[in-house]
Structure 1
Amino acid sequence: MSSISKNLYKILLLFTINLASQSAEITIDGVFNDWDSSLTTYTDTSESLNGIDILELQVTNDDEFLFIKIKSNIEFDLTDNLVSQQVRLFLDTDNDASTGYNIQNGYGSEVGIIFKELFAHYNVSPYAEIDFSDLKLRAAPTVTSNEFEIAIGRHQIPDGVNPLFTSSTIKILIKNDDNFDKIPNDGLTFSYTFDETPVTPYTPIDINKSNFSDIRLLAYNTLASGLDDPNRVDNFEQIIKAIAPDIIGLTECWDINAAQVKSLFDAWFPLGTANGWNTAKLGGLITVSRWEIIQQWTSLSRQFPVLIDLPSTYSKDILFTNAHLNCCDADDLRQEQADQYAAFILDAKSPGGLITLEENTPFMYSGDLNLVGYSQQLTTLKTGDIQNTSTYGLGAALDWDDTDLKEENCLQTDLRMGYTWRSDGQGFPPGKLDFIIFSDYTLTAQKSFVLQTEVMPIDRLWQYNLNALDTSIASDHFPVVTDFSINESLNSNQFNLANINISPNPVNSLVYIDLKIANNYQIQVINSIGNVLMTTSINSKSAVLNLESLPSGFYVVSIQNTEGQKISQKLIKK
């Protein structure tokens, strides 16, 4: 074969695939329903490999990030070796095979990301070893999966000198050096051209409650007893006052006691009640509640269930479990703790044993769960799939209707991201470590968010009386929030709200209550923080209340008959 023919053969062999590009609104949260088939997709040829086989690669972008999604045949941990792997991502960021590192024919790799080793090669002049934070790299999920989504900042200057992307077209290669799998294979290159079509801007989440009667849960890792640190406590005050929670699960409260935390909350949020805020502590866990904690259980490892006595405006009391599972490579301990909780809830749903709850009692579970290993731990917490059945019994569905519990997908208020932890100096990319899981048969999540003040524009900071560095100074975890309403239709003790008429609503002064059926009723008017402002008793089927003296705002009218059946109706005073 002549030299010309050989060169032509090499050119033909090095076949470049460049599919039509499309920008997209991608949220890095470990949920993949925003990745659809219309996005640029490369499917690998069928292969017979031992271990991890990368099957599919998808790519898209917005103005700020390059997004890459990979799919494999089995679950593995992107930044660990739970399943033997050496998965690496290579980017030819200037679309020039003659520059960078010759990783494969047709690729001059400027960036080589070694996920398991938590660093990247930056093959420019001069060469630099860079951190994931230099690439603004975000990835999800943090547990084992057969799908991962990755974001890389488009406007980064990783070494402080050389911009990351110098061409509108780039080439992408993924290799698993553990079994020599590649996508694309030798002889092929995969190119992607950034699409500059603007995507719909992210709509920031208003951190105020949408409904005053919702129960606001805050899960917050305070990083080494941060509430006891004079250099950080002011930042915590700003954050917690802006969020205004009702129930708070605090973790890493090793060196501060429950009474000290109560004093802080009583100073920050005076409730105007005789006892003020309620607190309880187990190990490094402190639970804070606007309402009385009437029972607590201390037998679970690093998990602290308590029963909270909600006011009569709510149909049920609520079971809340504050959790801080073991960290890092302690997968066996985390699984044991997940098994314990599943067994606890199954016990609570049946008579006898350690705990017996009234049927359809709402319950929720939150905290820094340190889920950085096997996904089974999260699966157990949601589904009741107990692994150590010899100790904890056979697992079963955990919710009252014998279905799975729901994991709330809390997103950042100002970013299309779902990470709850960030510590750039530790090497790991930001990740989701803090979770809120709940009974969606009894509760509805009305609003949820993760608060990171560093990414909020100044007008939003001013709106909530926050400072730009509040969350980064306070902790390496961000506050995670969900507002819940109780599904009132589940309360078997209620009489029918449809048969009661309260009008007018909104009201200036007199409000008329038509109860249809005569009975002995107690009627209360309660403000937004649960204080009873007015109580009256009647023995008839109608009543008139004079609310002229009350200030404008939201109230609840609570009505109870002689059988103990209750209903409540929201009321607006003009």
Structure 2
Amino acid sequence: MNKLLLTILILFSFYSYSQSASIRIDGNFDDWTSDLTTFTDTNESLDGIDLLEFQVTNDAEYLYIKVKANKEFDLTDGDIIPHNFFMYLDTDNDSSTGFRVRDDYGAELGIQFGERVLFNNFVNTPKTQVNFSEVGLRAAPTVTSKEFEIAIPRASIPDGINPLFPSPSVKILIRNRTNFDWLPNLNSVFTYTFDETPTTPYQPVDINKSDDSFIRVVAYNTKLNSLLDTNKLDEYERLIKVIQPDVIGFVESADTTIEYIKSLFDSWIPLGTANGWYVKKHGGEVTVSRWEITQEWDLDRQFPVLIDLPDSYGTDLLYTNAHLNCCGADDRRQRQVDEYAAFVLDAKSPGGQITLPKNTPIVYSGDLNLVGLSNQLATLLTGQIQNVGTYGSGAPLDWDDTDFKHDNALQTDIPMAYTWRSDGSNFPPGKLDFIIYSDYVLNAEKTFVIQTEEMPSERLNLFGLQEFDTSTASDHFPVVADFSINRNTLSTKENFVFVNKVFPNPATNKINIQLNVFDTYNIHLYNAVGNLILTTEKETNSIELDINTISGGLYHLAITNSKGERKFIKVLKK
């Protein structure tokens, strides 16, 4: 190498001694702060996908890389929006070893994302092809985006022999071979040195409800009717018992029957009510509810039902269990979500096939197979209908004319949001299962994904689970959300003026209710899960409730006057 070239390489070498950071692989990027190491490309005029920059950081377990481009593309599919995106890691920081990408890079790991091909090439070993599971690579999001975040385990041994990261530093090179875009460009090298400063550890999620009055909704793909497989029922039983759902939407359960699913739930979680669990079925979508399902509608691979919540909640719930078409069926998925958006807009307006009371809570969940264009998720959140000739003009879906919301639920024990994993597939794990809701009415108090394979033994023992429960049951994981209702939004406003005082609270034997107006009052006392415990009607301005015979715990007191005005009060029985 001549002295001039050596001087150029030295001048354009970028060495990063970055700070470690706690990163969530969830498709959100607010944790990628500006103080993290950033490599920005020079201004260029390129056709197709132009790589603009990447950021790098690490913690004790992972190397994290975030890539940003000028327009949307699908990281793991090079056909939807054409690209040929490669990433090369010179993990021993030695350009003379590994696959010779350029004179200044010898890659021990190369990733061709669009074709989902990975190869490794270590010293004294031939170049071999591996898959995402052998490397342990995770990425988000699974839909098209301008930005993607990637995590690679620092302890990875792809070939079972050679550690992927033998050096305290790594050289990173990114390329779009379709338009010859390099990042960094020729004669420029990026080297990242790991920072061993400890980061804030991830706080595991408590699977239990923090308040029994919350409505727990679960989305769960049971993979090819696996609820019928007796060899998997023990795993499902443990999972369902620890989750304790109020409403759960199963998909890929076409061969099951209503009677069969009901028998499982009545056995696993007896409700002690006359009916037990309520079950409705729509093709492969099966909805199970603690409360009566009073109405149902027929959409393409989407199953809306109206659930009659107990009076203590002050409203019903519109819940839709969905299993959109998979893989390359972007057009079909778009028609499906357009149909759902039109259905919600119909529900918000008088007439049509459905009319809901204003501010009825709305939840939409299921395996949505969002692996292509981001338009489908955008429609579900914003109501922007694409096929306007068939489904009409779109509009905001929530009752306050804003977007619906979805929380990128993280797993209980790792800061990652993927809900599907199949180590035999050439796709990396991804987020396919969602819970979307009207956040004007509903508050998501807790959301999480359960993957038992990532839970340490003490956590498994705490919840009575076993290591391979989720992978044995299905290749999808249960996604859980606990909702409370913002009662100030209910169409029948609660009137807080007519109640003067409720005491003592906590109570032991009696509850005294003092009212400001002499009137006829209906009194209902519900337990934490909405079951009616006692009721009375009196014309008075003072009521005494005998609660001596009920068990201790949290209860909801509903007081309704002759005008239909209602007040809810939480009371605690000691």
Q: Shorter-chain TM-score: which interval?
A: over 0.9
Q: What is the CA deviation profile of residues 54-77 of structure 1, one whole-angstrom value per residue up to 9, with x for unaligned ones?
A: 001100001110000000000000
RMSD: 1.2
**One-letter code aligned to 2:63:** L
Q: CA deviation at 1:150?
A: 0.3
Superposed, 1:390-401 pairs within 5 Å as 390-401=389-400
Q: Secondary structure of the residue that 1:520 maps to in structure 2? A: strand
Q: CA deviation at 1:101?
A: 1.4
Q: Secondary structure of the residue that 1:116 maps to in structure 2? A: coil
Query: Contact 2:495–2:565 (CA<8 Å) still a contact in 1?
Result: no
Q: CA deviation at 1:523?
A: 1.0
Match of 1:215 in 2: 215
Q: What is the CA deviation profile of residues 394-414 of structure 1, one whole-angstrom value per residue up to 9, with x for unaligned ones?
A: 111111111110112211000
Match of 1:122 in 2: 120
Query: Contact 1:86–1:178 (CA<8 Å) still a contact in 2?
Result: yes
Q: CA deviation at 1:531?
A: 2.3
Partner Cα separation in structure 2 for residue 9 and residue 309 of structure 1? 75
Partner Cα separation in structure 1 for residue 120 and residue 540 of structure 2? 81
Partner residue of 2:36 out of 39, 63, 67 = 39
Query: Contact 2:73–2:145 (CA<8 Å) still a contact in 1?
Result: yes
Match of 2:280 in 1: 280
Q: What is the CA deviation profile of residues 153-194 of structure 1, one whole-angstrom value per residue up to 9, with x for unaligned ones?
A: 100111011110010011000000011001000000000000
Partner Cα separation in structure 1 for residue 140 and residue 337 of structure 2? 21
Match of 1:340 in 2: 339
Is the aligned partner of 1:58 residue 2:37?
no
Q: CA deviation at 1:126?
A: 2.8
Q: What is the CA deviation profile of residues 116-168 of structure 1, one whole-angstrom value per residue up to 9, with x for unaligned ones?
A: 22221101113221111111100000000000000001001110111100100
Partner Cα separation in structure 2 for residue 432 and residue 202 of structure 1? 19
Match of 2:141 in 1: 141
Partner Cα separation in structure 1 for residue 408 and residue 160 of structure 2? 35
Q: CA deviation at 1:476?
A: 0.3
Q: Which runs of 5+ in 1 are unaligned?
A: none
Q: Secondary structure of the residue that 2:424 maps to in structure 1? A: helix
Q: Secondary structure of the residue that 1:426 maps to in structure 2? A: coil
Q: CA deviation at 1:8?
A: 4.1
Partner Cα separation in structure 2 for residue 138 and residue 59 of structure 1? 15
Match of 2:513 in 1: 513
Q: What is the CA deviation profile of residues 490-522 of structure 1, one whole-angstrom value per residue up to 9, with x for unaligned ones?
A: 124233236532222111112211222221111
Superposed, 1:183-332 pairs within 5 Å as 183-298=183-298, 300-332=299-331
Q: Secondary structure of the residue that 2:396 maps to in structure 1? A: coil
Match of 2:457 in 1: 458
Structure 2 length-normalised TM: 0.97
Match of 2:467 in 1: 468
Partner Cα separation in structure 2 for residue 94 and residue 567 of structure 1? 67
Match of 1:12 in 2: 8
Q: CA deviation at 1:461?
A: 1.1
Query: Contact 2:357–2:491 (CA<8 Å) still a contact in 1?
Result: no
Is the aligned partner of 1:560 residue 2:560?
yes
Q: Secondary structure of the residue that 1:345 maps to in structure 2? A: helix
Q: CA deviation at 1:539?
A: 1.0
Partner Cα separation in structure 2 for residue 38 and residue 450 of structure 1? 30
Partner Cα separation in structure 1 for residue 394 and residue 346 of structure 2? 11
Partner Cα separation in structure 2 for residue 494 and residue 384 of structure 1? 27
Q: CA deviation at 1:568?
A: 1.7
Partner residue of 1:86 out of 79, 84, 87 = 84
Q: What is the CA deviation profile of residues 300-319 of structure 1, one whole-angstrom value per residue up to 9, with x for unaligned ones?
A: 10000000101110111010
Q: Secondary structure of the residue that 1:326 maps to in structure 2? A: coil
Q: CA deviation at 1:527?
A: 1.5
Partner Cα separation in structure 2 for residue 157 and residue 572 of structure 1? 55
Partner Cα separation in structure 2 for residue 375 and residue 436 of structure 1? 16
**One-letter code aligned to 1:525:** L
**One-letter code aligned to 1:45:** T
**One-letter code aligned to 1:99:** T
**One-letter code aligned to 1:318:** L
Q: Secondary structure of the residue that 1:262 maps to in structure 2? A: helix
Query: Contact 1:105–1:186 (CA<8 Å) still a contact in 2?
Result: no
Match of 1:30 in 2: 27
Query: Contact 2:18–2:37 (CA<8 Å) still a contact in 1?
Result: yes
Q: Secondary structure of the residue that 1:497 maps to in structure 2? A: coil
